[in-house]
């Protein structure tokens, strides 16, 4: 009879000894903490790249609008000319010419109506480009310029940390605005 209970007692003693051991406890802490730290690092790096791209879009729009207002792009430049110049001035914006939507709207100061809040961006799920106004103002009326760029994240899993609204392909919208009045001719 003692022999029947001897086997479970030996197993119970071995199990207790196994549970008391402390070697390997650092591995558990490492396995839990390293993925959390890496995800924080990746989210920080992604946020830095997103901010850098936004600054590059703002800078490129400012440089392009300066050339436009001074007349360096011609009296009535075409949409493609302005878009291509903006893309030349922009760094770190992948596929700029296919993912950029521009809108130039003349604001009438005599009969003021604010522009719509919605900015039409490129929809990459279709081949149809958004129809945006592209008319340049004269010396008396200001021109509002709105640019919308669709950019993909470097690490798609980091969108939880950035909390960005994305489209069906995983890209998010970066927008930049500017306002100018043509300078008088000398």
Residue 162 lies in a domain: yes
Q: Is the pLDDT of residue 183 over 70?
A: no
Residue 82 lies in a domain: yes
Assign 88 a pLDDT band (cuts: 50, 70, 90): very high
CA 24, distance to chain mean position in Å, is 42
Q: For 96-142, how does the pLDDT look when each residue is reduced to its tens digit (9 = 90+)?
A: 888 888 888 888 777 777 777 777 787 766 665 545 555 665 666 78
Q: What's the DSSP call for residue 153?
A: -
Residue 97 lies in a domain: yes
Residue 5 lies in a domain: no
Helix (H, G, I), strand (E, B) or coil at 163: coil
CB half-sphere exposure, 154, CA atoms < 13 A: 14
**C-alpha dihedral sign at 163, 168, 169, 174:** negative
Most confident of 1-10, 50-59, 147-156: 50-59
Residue 18 lies in a domain: no
Distance between CA 40 and CA 130 in Å, rounded? Answer: 37
Residue 55 lies in a domain: yes
Please report the pLDDT score of residue 15 as a whole number. Answer: 84
Domain that holds residue 43: 25-180
- Domain count of the fold of the chain: 1
């Amino acid at each position: 009879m003692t022999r029947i209970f001897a086997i479970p007692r030996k197993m119970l003693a071995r199990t207790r000894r196994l549970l008391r051991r402390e070697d390997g406890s650092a591995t558990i802490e490492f396995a839990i903490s390293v993925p959390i730290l890496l995800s924080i690092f990746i989210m920080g790096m992604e946020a830095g790249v997103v901010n850098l791209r936004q600054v590059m879009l703002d800078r490129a729009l400012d440089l392009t609008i300066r050339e436009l207002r001074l007349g360096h792009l011609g009296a009535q430049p075409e949409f493609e000319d302005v878009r291509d110049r903006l893309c030349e001035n922009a760094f770190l914006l992948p596929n700029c010419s296919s993912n950029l939507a521009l809108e130039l709207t003349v604001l009438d100061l005599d009969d003021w109506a604010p522009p719509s809040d919605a900015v039409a961006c490129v929809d990459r799920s279709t081949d149809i480009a958004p129809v945006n106004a592209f008319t340049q103002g004269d010396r008396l009326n200001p021109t509002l310029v709105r640019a919308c760029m669709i950019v993909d994240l470097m690490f798609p899993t980091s969108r939880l940390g950035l909390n960005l609204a994305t489209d069906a392909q995983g890209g998010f919208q970066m927008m930049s605005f500017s306002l100018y009045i043509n300078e008088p001719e000398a």
